[in-house]
């Protein structure tokens, strides 16, 4: 038996969850984004975003920075180099899958 | 993890593209700031040419320029919620170019070409150019 051939085996399980995928895709286009902007753009609640960001942070994909604009506390999110690299690989794999179904090798061998 | 078929994968790629566009669209503040700075710089240096040898004129123009820059910064930058990838590098390059031309134009103008309107008009255009180019580059990235 040969190793896994289908591109799906290259997908990143941490990034593949829908909300996390959207968060990472947004952050991939930004050097840094404010928590509220990410929440509104991805269309999730504060608590859902916090939970998913915590998972991404734990995986080493997202870095969180807390600061102030005037007297208002703000939280800024950015992708780490590891997160950026993993997302690029993940998106590349999705593009491969989107390009078309992979021929069934076992059927072809029969 | 569910395995995406090619339809789902295409939808996810489209989602990523849409989110990139959302980030691009939200980065308008920097374009406005750079454009405003280009206009303020050009008007300020032109104003110094019009002020000629009058110290009061130079001081008034400098005061107005300072207020314009402060208002522009306060109106556009604090609310910025997202910065596009590579923005720091592009902004640093733009601002270094501006500082270099602006500094040289001021130093030469106030010591050698004071009262020379033609010099100040050329300097005004030259100093505004790096900011205008930076603003145009940022605006084109958002398309």
Q: How many CB pairs under 8 A join A and B?
A: 82
User: pLDDT digit string (tens) for B43-79?
Assistant: 999 999 998 888 899 999 999 999 999 999 998 887 7
Question: Which residue from B minimizes the CA distance to A42?
Answer: B19
Token pair belonging to B106 = 């001021």
- Residue A94 and residue B4 in contact, taking contact as beta carbons nearer than 8 Å: yes
- B29 min Cα distance to partner chain A (Å): 14
Residue B2 backbone dihedrals phi, psi, to 5 degrees = -75, 145
- Residue A80 and residue A25 in contact, taking contact as beta carbons nearer than 8 Å: no
Whether the predicted pLDDT of B88 surpasses 90 = no
Name which of A64, A13, A36, A42 is nearest B82 in CA terms: A36
Whether the predicted pLDDT of A70 surpasses 80 = no
Higher pLDDT, A101 or B64: B64
Question: Which residue from A minimizes the CA distance to B86?
Answer: A31
Contacts of A8 in chain B (CB under 8 A): 3-4
- Is ipTM beyond 0.85? no
Contacts of A34 in chain B (CB under 8 A): 81-82
- Residue B111 and residue A59 in contact, taking contact as beta carbons nearer than 8 Å: no
Q: pTM for the complete prediction?
A: 0.74
User: pLDDT digit string (tens) for B94-106?
Assistant: 999 999 999 999 9
* DSSP characters over A11-48: S-HHHHSHHHHHHHHHHHTEEEEEHHHHHHHHT--HHH
Alpha carbon distance B126, B104 (integer Å): 11
């Amino acid at each position: 038996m040969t190793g896994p051939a289908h591109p799906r085996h290259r997908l990143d399980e941490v990034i593949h969850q829908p909300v996390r995928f959207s968060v990472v895709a947004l952050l991939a286009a930004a050097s840094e984004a404010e928590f509220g902007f990410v929440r509104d753009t991805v269309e999730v609640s504060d608590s859902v975003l916090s939970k998913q960001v915590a998972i991404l942070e734990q995986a080493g994909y997202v870095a969180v920075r807390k600061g102030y604009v005037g007297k208002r506390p703000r939280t800024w999110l950015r992708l780490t180099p590891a997160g950026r690299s993993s997302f690029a690989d993940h998106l590349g794999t999705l593009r491969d899958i989107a390009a078309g179904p992979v021929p069934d090798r076992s059927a072809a061998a029969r | 993890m569910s395995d995406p078929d090619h339809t789902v994968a295409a939808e996810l790629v489209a989602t990523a593209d849409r989110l990139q566009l959302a980030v691009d669209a939200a980065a308008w503040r920097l374009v406005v700031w750079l454009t405003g700075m280009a206009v303020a710089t050009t008007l300020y240096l032109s104003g110094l040419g019009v002020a000629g040898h009058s110290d009061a004129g130079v001081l008034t123009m400098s005061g107005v320029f300072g207020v314009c820059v402060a208002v522009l910064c306060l109106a556009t930058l604090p609310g910025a919620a997202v910065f596009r990838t590579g923005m720091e590098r592009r902004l640093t390059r733009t601002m270094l170019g501006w500082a270099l031309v602006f500094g040289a134009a001021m130093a030469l103008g106030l010591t050698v070409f004071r009262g020379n309107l033609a010099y100040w008009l050329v300097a005004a255009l030259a100093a505004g150019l790096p900011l205008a180019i930076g603003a145009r580059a940022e605006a084109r990235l958002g398309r």
